[in-house]
Amino acid sequence: MGEEMNMMHQRILVVLPHPDDEAFGLSGTLAKYIQEGAQVTYACLTLGERGRNMGIPPFANRVTLPDVRRSELLESCKAIGIQDLRMLGFHDKTIEFEDKELLDGRIMEILQEIRPTLVFTFYPGYSVHPDHDATGAAVLRVMESLPAKERPPLLCLAFSKNCYSVLGQPDVSVDVTEFLEHKMKSIQAHRSQFQAAELLGNRTLKDREILDRFGTERFWTYPLNK
Amino acid sequence: MQVIDIVQVQNRIDSFKDQDIYVHLELTTGAYASHHDSSKHPAANFITNAVIRYSNGSIVGSNGIYRAGLKMEHGWLYAEGLTTWDESDPDRLILAGHDGQGKLVVALQLSREPF
């Protein structure tokens, strides 16, 4: 699926905890699907207000960071073409401690409103940051509470050191070479977090190295019905 | 954020003495410390909007790296590695320490209103 799926009229729900989580992992895929006619709702759980990066040289601080990152998120979504951004107001680093009824309830509300045909989140247990794993686990709980036939496919991002050895090869690969401009703009929007100029160096988007690193986005379909 | 001006920061610390003050205190290696380097042990803590009251406090240090200590009725608050403060904030004291890559490692913030 993925490449073959007709994206016209698809409704996609993306649930991730931090502004910038969308940038490296799936901004190209979202830009591509949006161009093909998909509607995307992005539920971003926190403002990343406990991030350590403040820009180089620092232009934010602990007090101003939430506002800075909110603006960066809006800019990134605009670059990708995301039509519907929901900032859920949870607090960075606390997702695993959050009241599960509250957390799952917020995600369920959006799921019932959007009735997505495809959902993206982090693969619980294979996504390194505790917020990533806890977000994936919450989405999974909500999906599993739906009757099996009402569950849309769940595509997961993962990047733990053991994700390939345990999960195997990702079953969905999306060629985003035509959307690298969108992707780099999404990454660059998060200027407090990434020094995008360093990532690109003096290379262009057509360079082999850039295409290899950024040109394909990979996802694991969660085995929901097993 | 600017490099710490020890005179101005000391004045701000003194202005909060003997009052109920909201504190944010934080130390972090970052959540990716061991992902990037398995020899590193990831650790972090923060406490936000705890109310404290101190009878005296000071900032000391040299070469641009400072320590702060606040003496409370039943104990102490301590932070080491502070490098910058937010000169533009007129009411609160915003102190932080950044590593060589500009990443925040430590923060100490005091305010009369919650953060």
**Lookup: tokens for B40:** 């590193």
Nearest residue on chain A to B44, alpha-carbon basis: A93
What does the domain layout of chain A look like in residue ranges? Answer: 11-217
Q: How would residue A164 be classed by pLDDT, with cut points 50, 70 and 90?
A: very high
pLDDT above 90 covers a percentage of chain A that reads: 84
CB contact under 8 A, A58 and B102: yes
Q: How would residue A226 be classed by pLDDT, with cut points 50, 70 and 90?
A: low
- What is the phi/psi pair of residue A33, to 5°? -65, -35
Across chain A, mean pLDDT equals: 93
Pairing of strands B2-3, A216-221: unpaired
Is the backbone of residue A2 left (phi > 0), alpha (psi -120 to 50) or beta? left
**Lookup: tokens for A221:** 């379909």
Domains of chain B: 2-32+42-111 (2.70.180.10)
- pTM comes to 0.90
Q: Which residues of B touch A58 (CB under 8 A)?
A: 1, 84, 98, 102
Chain segment A4-29, per-residue pLDDT in tens: 678 888 999 999 999 999 999 999 99
Q: Which pLDDT does position A197 carry in this prediction?
A: 67
Pick the CATH number of A11-217 from 3.30.70.360, 3.40.720.10, 3.40.140.10, 3.40.50.10320: 3.40.50.10320
Chain segment B27-59, per-residue pLDDT in tens: 999 888 888 888 889 899 999 999 999 999 999
Nearest to A122 by CA among A107, A146, A139, A97: A139
CB contact under 8 A, A63 and B105: no
pLDDT at A1 over 60: no
CB contact under 8 A, A63 and B35: no
Q: How would residue A2 be classed by pLDDT, with cut points 50, 70 and 90?
A: very low
Chain segment A96-149, per-residue pLDDT in tens: 999 999 999 999 999 999 999 999 999 999 999 999 999 999 999 999 999 999
> Chain A residues with CB-CB distance to B under 8 A?
50-58, 61-63, 93, 128-131, 160-161
CB contact under 8 A, B104 and A54: yes
Which position has the higher pLDDT, A211 or A190?
A190
